[in-house]
Amino acid sequence: MGAPVGVGRALVLDFGGPVLLTPFELATNTDPASPAYQLLHERGPFAPPEHPDAEWERLQAGDITERDYWHSRAEAWARAHEGEQPDGNIREMIAHLYDPPHPGLVRPEARRLIHDARAAGIPVGVLTNDLSAFHSREWIDSIEILGHVDVIVDGSVEGVLKPHPRLYDLMRQRLDVDYPQMVFVDDQMTNVRGAEALGIPTIAFHPRDPAGGFRRIRAVVGLEE
């Protein structure tokens, strides 16, 4: 169920993808000989049709979870570092790409969208699975855009992950809206389907076409560019 135009009184964004650049995009800017480039370049949503990312496709189908996918990537990361990270720690891999925190990690279109939505009286929530699982408290506090949203619901804090209905319900309660008044944006189809099952209008965000995604969001919530 895509979101029809004009339905939203509240905007709910996944963090990694719609707001924060993906690891796949950041890896593209690393040394082509580096493990990050080898493991993440042209993987996930950026995998070309002739070289599909089979694990990513399983994630989109709901056969594995996001955690499963990133655990697999982190284990490969550890092997590439020849035992330097023997536990396959996801946070170590993510830190390599996202530290130090800086404004360029946030999509400028997301920054403008959040500003414009709140200026128009539309509350904004961030509904994420792994903010605290993947990043340190110091890193989170340094990402200033998170201080400009009304509500943050983090599955790694709440103890359940999208698409568990409890997370969507926590966001509904904290924004004080009904499900049909929310517009939910996520780049993982399993999370989109979880929202749709509750009657939440949704927008599937595609990191390959962020400009098109933000045009769609703005049209749905009634914000001019």
What are the tens digits of pLDDT across the range 119-136?
A: 999 999 999 999 999 999
What are the tens digits of pLDDT across the range 6-46?
A: 566 899 999 999 999 999 999 998 999 888 899 999 999 99
What are the tens digits of pLDDT across the range 151-169?
A: 999 999 999 999 999 999 9
102-109 long-range Cβ contacts below 8 angstroms, 24+ apart: 103/144, 105/20, 105/21, 105/26, 105/143, 106/19, 106/20, 106/21, 106/143, 106/145, 107/18, 107/19, 107/20, 107/21, 107/210, 107/214, 109/210, 109/211, 109/214
Percent of all residues in the chain with a pLDDT value above 70, rounded to a whole number? 94
- Please state, in angstroms and rounded to a whole number, the distance separating the CA atoms of residues 15 and 6: 23
What are the tens digits of pLDDT across the range 179-203?
A: 999 999 999 999 999 999 999 999 9
> Can you give the pLDDT at residue 135?
93
